[in-house]
Structure 1
């Protein structure tokens, strides 16, 4: 059990308003104008540039993020993204989709002066899911992975600068999605034949690679990892400003709860994934009071001062909402927003 200490009780410069809620990234549907309007309206304290993977290749997490790489073109081949001599048709489509997304953000966020979040897959998730020309994943070649990380860092720096230019009143946060990181560390990423796995990556190498990306972008970075074995300490050491976690996966074991306490002691924020992304069998809608109570219980278990809860915790769905119905996605984000306000009013 962690207890509050001098670091946890020392005020830090807020990166978001107290009682904020936000989404992880993806939403159902294909209409980016409606999706941007939705996030700005439903999540006024911490809106985000939404992702719509339903639009097809180039809008999926890997393709969309590969579109940010600098001088590292990829193409879609046999259903897999791989390094190419020149951008493939799907990657050119990813460029076009991103431009449309930014155009809508520019139009609808005119005059916005709050905190705004954008997302990208992180270097290790890209390395595990993009193949070299001969068919093996980039993660199999540490030199190629370093090149990818450098390319991503440069691309994200440019992307963040573009968002700042288009929404000059916004404070931009970047979220790096690293769902594949635990598999990379444990040597569980399958080879192209699926008969074997690639060798594990040393934690220090994984940490330093993420740090290189975080240091390059020039804005606070949230790292999202929705896995039960998310490497929390590694991500803290890499320089993340906050971690986005599914509390159903990491918020139950005593050891992981202690580690969450250590993160908060160190000054990190917690994006607490508390709302399920698909409705339960009984069809019940998410209950804001129950979501808020879940986080309050965790905070009490950690022993931190109650008045810090709304400042240090942002409420989110447990993961992306691309697989939800539009009605349920709206219900989830509305419930997270209302639950966040309950943290302020406790």
Structure 2
């Protein structure tokens, strides 16, 4: 069944956690019949440091505390105020989830950064990116695996009747890691590219930990479709791609087709619909962003029934009305794709 979900980022400031979570459950519960709704744990990034993606994910690393430094989040010897703030935001989010999802027995999606994007954006105590140290990035992957395992247990504790859980690992930097284009701390050099087999080994512990906890795993690559083969080899259940940004890229869609043949699903990120005063939102264009390259690369129309749609991350903050409208539009796009699959 064609589905609709989201990355988790949601507008709102501290104190808006419950409202945001209730809106997501409510709006996704009103999607058209025949569309699979996957509510997600909301993340109010406007709350400040510790609510951002790096800070939230770093807070899951129980044996590797982090703090804010001049260049961003960095590893430290002892947890401090920054870590306590991030932990507090997690507690607020889970508390809001427990209330908004009371009696919920369906699925839920939760998003954290993947090990390679985290290693590329988290700084070591010595000054360079964790990515620069093979041993440190291996430790980071293992620590994140345990953090994800603990986090899933905490989510299920808050929502005892929860059904299927999907862990979304955000890996927008995986392509840059693989290509070796990330600058060193000084800015005068580039970090060495990480070969494909190492990418697989870094992803695998986190994916296996989520599987052991009874969850499915989607690895979101954003626009970096070149990372699709290691994601498939690492055992992910699905791959996320911002298909609106990729457009018709034959090589990218061939990789999607190969992954599909291995049983790896597609979570397709779509941009906001263009709106005209006369015709309203141009939903047909969004349908074609998925359906046309899908069929052009030779995938069966029936397979569209297994695609999940989600809003591609916005480059700028948008109000709640815009986010709600996008979820509603995605529901109608998913309905159209389901009809094509059944035709």
TM over 0.5: yes
Partner of 1:14: none
Quick check: 2:226–2:252 contact (8 Å CA) kept in 1? Answer: no
Q: Give 2:42's match in structure 1, choosing from 27, 50, 66.
A: 50
Partner of 1:176: 169
* Displaced runs of 4 or more, over 6 A: 279-282
Equivalent residue runs for 1:1-346 within 5 Å: 18-30=1-13, 31-44=16-29, 45-170=37-162, 171-218=164-211, 219-276=215-272, 286-310=281-305, 312-320=306-314, 323-346=317-340
Matched position secondary structure for 1:99: helix
Quick check: 1:24–1:320 contact (8 Å CA) kept in 2? Answer: no
Cα 1:168–1:244 change in 2 (3 A) is: same
Question: How many angstroms does 1:233 deviate by?
Answer: 1.0
Quick check: 2:237–2:265 contact (8 Å CA) kept in 1? Answer: yes
Cα 1:246–1:337 change in 2 (3 A) is: same
Partner of 2:34: none
* Number of equivalences: 327
Question: How many angstroms does 1:285 deviate by?
Answer: 6.4
Paired with 2:275 and 2:139, the residues of 1 have a C-alpha distance of 43
Matched position secondary structure for 1:293: helix
1:132-190: CA deviation from partner (whole Å, max 9, x where unpaired): 11211111111011111111100100101111222222211100001111111111111
Q: Which runs of 5+ in 1 are unaligned?
A: 1-17
Greater relative CO, 1 or 2 (CA 8 Å, sep 6+): 1
Matched position secondary structure for 2:310: strand
Question: How many angstroms does 1:281 deviate by?
Answer: 11
Cα 1:324–1:172 change in 2 (3 A) is: same
Question: How many angstroms does 1:214 deviate by?
Answer: 0.4
Matched position secondary structure for 2:286: helix
- RMSD across aligned C-alpha pairs, in angstroms? 2.1
Question: How many angstroms does 1:130 deviate by?
Answer: 1.1
Question: How many angstroms does 1:280 deviate by?
Answer: 8.0
